[in-house]
């Protein structure tokens, strides 16, 4: 079983839709969870950083962590064409300080005007 699994999509939605992106993981040692956005041929851009189980909101983005199910989600409300990108989940075992990130493969999202 892969450490981090993420449905690669592609996912295509109309503008204004609510988007749900998900990752599962197998290693219970993962404690810190991130979502990155990656535009084509660009570097990953940090969107959300969470630790505890529950929800964290930032504008139109909500990150949700369920450690008991080893499942994390990113919700995008009122999606915009500019949200079209690949979304990567990432996780680590400890907080910061040279800790490596383990990434999912990414979900490619297209928001159609």
Partner 1 sequence: EPEVTQTPSHQVTQMGQEVILRCVPISNHLYFYWYRQILGQKVEFLVSFYNNEISEKSEIFDDQFSVERPDGSNFTLKIRSTKLEDSAMYFCASSDPDEQYFGPGTRLTVT
17 or 31: whose CB is closer to partner 1?
31
**Residue ranges in contact with partner 1 by CB under 8 A:** 32, 34, 36, 41-46, 49, 88, 90, 95-106
79 or 91: whose CB is closer to partner 1?
91
Q: Give the closest residue to 17 by CA, choosing from 88, 92, 77.
A: 77
- Tell me how far, at minimum, the Cβ of 40 lies from partner 1, in Å: 11
Residue 78 CB neighbours (<10 A): 12
57 or 78: whose CB is closer to partner 1?
57
- Tell me how far, at minimum, the Cβ of 106 lies from partner 1, in Å: 8
């Amino acid at each position: 079983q892969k450490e981090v699994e993420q449905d690669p999509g592609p996912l295509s939605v109309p503008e204004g839709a609510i988007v749900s992106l998900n990752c599962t993981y197998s290693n219970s040692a993962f404690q810190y969870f991130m979502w990155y956005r990656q535009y084509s041929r660009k570097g990953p851009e940090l969107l959300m950083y969470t630790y505890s189980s529950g929800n964290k909101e930032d504008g139109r983005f909500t990150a949700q962590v369920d450690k008991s199910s080893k499942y994390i989600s990113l919700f995008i409300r009122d999606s915009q064409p500019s949200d079209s990108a690949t979304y990567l989940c990432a996780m680590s075992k400890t907080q910061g300080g040279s800790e490596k990130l383990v990434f999912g493969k990414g979900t490619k999202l297209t928001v159609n005007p």
